[in-house]
Amino acid sequence: MPGEITKPFSKKGATVINGNHTDIVSIDYEDKSMVVITQYQKIGTLVYIMKDGAPIDNRRPGFTTKILLGDDKPVTHVIARNLASTIYSGKPIVLGIALKDDSPAVMKTLQEVLKDYRH
């Protein structure tokens, strides 16, 4: 049956941001979401993103980020937290991110693009 092999459900696509081809894959697991955003066709840095238990500011959820693999650069945490606010669906996120350009403009574009990859 064709319907049986669709698990776990995935969405994939690509876009061009500031001339850089960007591949995006989002996979929905029961307990976590996995999202890969890459301009190198590789996972790059893996970040684990959890929602904070008790947010300081109730209007905007806070996220805690932990680098699982790769460069532990401050900007990666910033990008991961911001993207999490778009893609968070109630489950921790495993984010693979590899960007050629980590400017705020790219991050904002990604926030918009990622709306299509929510499950």
Residues of this chain that interact with other proteins (CB under 8 A) are 2-16, 21, 23-25, 27-32, 34, 36, 38, 40-43, 46, 48, 68-69, 94, 113, 116-117
CB of 117 to other proteins, least distance (A): 6
Give 38 or 79: the residue with its C-beta nearer to other proteins: 38
**Could you give the maximum distance between any two Cα atoms of the chain, in Å?**
48
Give 46 or 78: the residue with its C-beta nearer to other proteins: 46
**Residue 108 backbone phi and psi in degrees, to 5:** -65, -40
**H helices of 1-119, where?**
74-87, 104-113
Give 34 or 107: the residue with its C-beta nearer to other proteins: 34
Give 36 or 80: the residue with its C-beta nearer to other proteins: 36
DSSP string for residues in 62-89: -EEEEEEES---HHHHHHHHHHHHHH--
CA distances from 110 to 58, 97, 116 (A): 24, 11, 10
Of residues 45, 25, 22, the one with CA closest to residue 34 = 25
